[in-house]
Amino acid sequence: MPHATHPSKSSQNLAIGDVLSWNKKSNGIYGNTAFSNFEITIYKQDTIRIQISREEGFSPNPYTVISSPGDIQPSIMEENGKVWLKTSKIHLSVNLNPFYLTFYTPEGQVINQDDPAFAVSWLGTEVSNYKKLQEKERFIGLGEKTGHLDRSGRAYTNWNTDYFAYGVGDDPLYMSIPFYIGVHSGLSYGIFFDNTHKSVFNFGASNNRFIYYSADDGDMDYYFFHDDSIDKIISSYTDLTGKMEMPPLWSLGFQQCRYSYYPDSEVITLANTFRDKDMPADVIYLDIHHMEKYKVFTFDGQKFSDPKSMIKALKQKGFKVVVILDPGIKTENGYLPFEEGKEKDLFVKYPDNEVYEGQVWPGWCAFPDFTKDETRKWWAEKMAFYEEAGVDGYWTDMNEPASWGQFTPNLINFNYEGENVSHRKARNIYGFQMARSAKEGCELQRPKERPFVLTRSGFSGIQRYAAAWTGDNVASEEHMMAGIRLVNSLGLSGVAYSGYDVGGFAGEATKSLFARWMTIATFAPLYRAHSMINSNDAEPWAFGEEVEEISRNYMKLRYRLLPTIYSSFYRSTQSGLPIAKSLAVNYPHDKNIYDSSFENQYLFCDSLLIAPVESYKEITKVYLPEGEWYYLFDNQKYIGNKIIYQDCPLNYLPVYVKAGSILALQSDVSFTGETHDGILRFHVYAGNDSSTYLHYEDDGISPEYKEGKFLKREVSWNSEMKKLSFSNTEGDFKSKFEKIKVYFHGSNPGEVTINGELVKVDKEDFAFLKKLTEFDPLPDNSHPYMEIKNISSCTFQNNSSAFEVEIQ
């Protein structure tokens, strides 16, 4: 029991002190000090939970963690004033006098250690955990945070904030993910601080003794992860907080948004222009002007007189429609959502039970309390309004929650699953629960289709409910590069599906800036262009013929790559790993990747190395990590661990393919639902490394993949034997591809055999083009290939048997 006379309002630091008693439990220990209770729980061999509270019981966040401790029974023993808890991955030492923790590898190397003098401490209600800085330690992750890849020497605040036109070094922004990864001495570890109050992470700013994370109030409740690679740490974090589900295929195509497209005739013209200009696209957004006086669950009767017919016409052209959802409910008598919410007691309130009102787009508004189960169910039911009109997806905006003045009173109350807490504890979770409500509404209203929700605000675990975008950015070179780091950091933090406003939301993009942004965003998980009111047109054709052609080429490349991208999304649903992956995941101990010249580089779908570069540069430095790499556009091969200089005219973004990789491509389509030519094209990049590509298909729209309606097949390249192996297919889905073409890069085979049988190969003298004369990367006639057909065992249909392709 905590000491009853603990001075909770002390203005001086109070450390946790000595352990008075401790006891074993099946998967850890528990005990108390003079001022606190503590509990240590082994979740997995690589995951340990630490809970410390000055209250009699703990008050955990009910929203983020969805897994329970495994059946792990650690070795527990007391020795020389320490209690040891040992798993196969982590040896944890609990020093008893005073209490502080040290995490070791099984070999005895220090991974992470509390500062012995302070460890867990309190300043009034603020609780902090101080950690010793290890030699040359770097810190990465923390979600949507600006700044450098290596966060050493800076401090960050988690307090979800509506920040229009934020600066590239500003903090905080819209989303809070209190999870970071530490790297030092050939080791890496992760810490997730599961406290929804405003928190601060100080990675050695203004001191050289420690780093710390603190929260304004609540428990010290954190999870410690350690394994032999960063990808395993991220996977364990997402085992804890959840992984995304398969999104609808259409959401991986190009998406066009503006604040705002209206009236309905303009929306139809927009759709027609995409098709007329042969620019593939799948999604058009309706921003706040689709509503009557900005009131949610309405259409403006003048601007959109027949929304159902408009949406039907868009669907006939292959477009999906996503509408914005703001949480503010106008406090207007007779407005049904307000009347219902008030009657059902669903709004956030003051402590005296009066409904809280804040000003947003419709004027004075009440705010649904999404931390209440009844509110979430009601919101899901209200979404029938949009579902009946044919809407396909939802964009939850202003859900920090935002209001004019940007200073919500802390005393307002939220249900918080029956706990009844103030704004201090509920704010960071609000957008997370609104996105949850939207997803559950989709599932309620349209159970035979997958939901698509895009959110601006969120907390750890948001990946279970929504994709994320990085808010109101600016049309500038600096913001283009900062957005890449934001997406990469979100990927390090479990949010694999994210993107930025291509072209910049605020301000005016130059022709060259827009062109470069379009090329880079081709290789982002979310590919969405967005611009604001009272700015110039910012569609891909609005900047002149050259930019239009560059945009078209890269949009087409995006759609050709969809088999690779979709398969990468599937792998992410299983592993939790990012689709746009910072080089720190694969090469965390390579100091070059943290250099400001190279920190924006990343891997897309594991195989493509993207080297973003500003639009005004015609040549740039690129760092190629260890291994072998092919330049995508001319097949030039490079040995890694070196810096190269690469020409980068606007129409050629520096993109490299890792040797040993396999890319899957399809023919050109105008939208994801259009029928392709039935040929799946595998591009094999020979090298010293072997690799395996997992190809995945399903219907792209329904949740039936969860019931086995999918197709999976491994395609493996053995570099030593020059053998390409296709495994048996798994699943009950019939492939959309009828035959396969295989293209060889970096290898000039004299003959090809399939399962030992010599096969005639269609070849263009097996001669690579030195340089493609047009953009079109990987065209059929530019690489040696063989077409697999008329061999029953070599079709790509479901239940087909394994086969091998060998080249001599």
CA distances to 242, 531, 543, 780 from 510, rounded to whole Å, are 40, 13, 8, 34
Which has the closest alpha carbon to 175: 404, 454, 393? 454
Of these residues, 472, 477, 628, 697, which one is catalytic?
472
Question: Phi and psi at residue 598, in whole multiples of 5°?
Answer: -130, -5
Give every CB contact of residue 609 below 8 A, 6+ residues apart in sequence: 601, 602, 603, 624, 625, 629, 655, 656, 657, 658
Of these residues, 400, 477, 599, 606, which one is catalytic?
400
Task: Identify whether 689 is a catalytic site residue.
Answer: no
For residue 762, the SS3 value is coil
Which has the closest alpha carbon to 329: 356, 296, 301? 296
Instruction: In whole angstroms, give the CA distance from residue 82 to residue 18.
Output: 12
- Kindly state the helix (H) or strand (E) to which residue 441 belongs, with its residue range: helix 423-445
Give every CB contact of residue 55 below 8 A, 6+ residues apart in sequence: 2, 37, 219
Of these residues, 114, 326, 397, 606, which one is catalytic?
397
How do beta strands 628-631 and 642-647 pair?
A: unpaired
Which has the closest alpha carbon to 605: 636, 566, 638? 566
For residue 288, the SS3 value is helix
278 CB-contact burial (10 Å; exposed 0-12 / middle 13-18 / buried 19+): exposed
Task: Identify whether 400 is a catalytic site residue.
Answer: yes
Helix 373-382 × helix 336-343 angle, to 10°: 160
Instruction: In whole angstroms, give the CA distance from residue 445 to residue 102.
Output: 50
**Percent composition of the chain: helix, strand, coil (DSSP 3-state, to 5):** 20, 30, 50
Is it true that the peptide bond before 263 is cis, omega within 30 degrees of 0?
yes
Judge whether 801 and 794 are in contact, CB under 8 Å: no
- Kindly state the helix (H) or strand (E) to which residue 455 belongs, with its residue range: strand 453-455
Which has the closest alpha carbon to 87: 60, 99, 69? 69
Is it true that the peptide bond before 172 is cis, omega within 30 degrees of 0?
yes
> What one-character-per-residue DSSP string does 737-758 give?
--EEEEEEES---S-EEETTEE
Length of the chain measured in residues: 808
Judge whether 395 and 388 are in contact, CB under 8 Å: no
Instruction: In whole angstroms, give the CA distance from residue 438 to residue 444.
Output: 10
Instruction: In whole angstroms, give the CA distance from residue 454 to residue 656.
Output: 30
Give every CB contact of residue 773 below 8 A, 6+ residues apart in sequence: none
Instruction: In whole angstroms, give the CA distance from residue 400 to residue 161.
Output: 6
Measure the N-to-C terminal CA separation of the chain; round to a whole number of Å.
Answer: 74
For residue 153, the SS3 value is coil
Instruction: In whole angstroms, give the CA distance from residue 630 to residue 683.
Output: 12
For residue 617, the SS3 value is coil
Task: Identify whether 217 is a catalytic site residue.
Answer: no
- Kindly state the helix (H) or strand (E) to which residue 312 belongs, with its residue range: helix 307-316
Which has the closest alpha carbon to 237: 457, 44, 465, 39? 44
DSSP 295: -
Instruction: In whole angstroms, give the CA distance from residue 227 to residue 188.
Output: 7
Which active-site residues does the annotation give?
A: 397, 400, 472
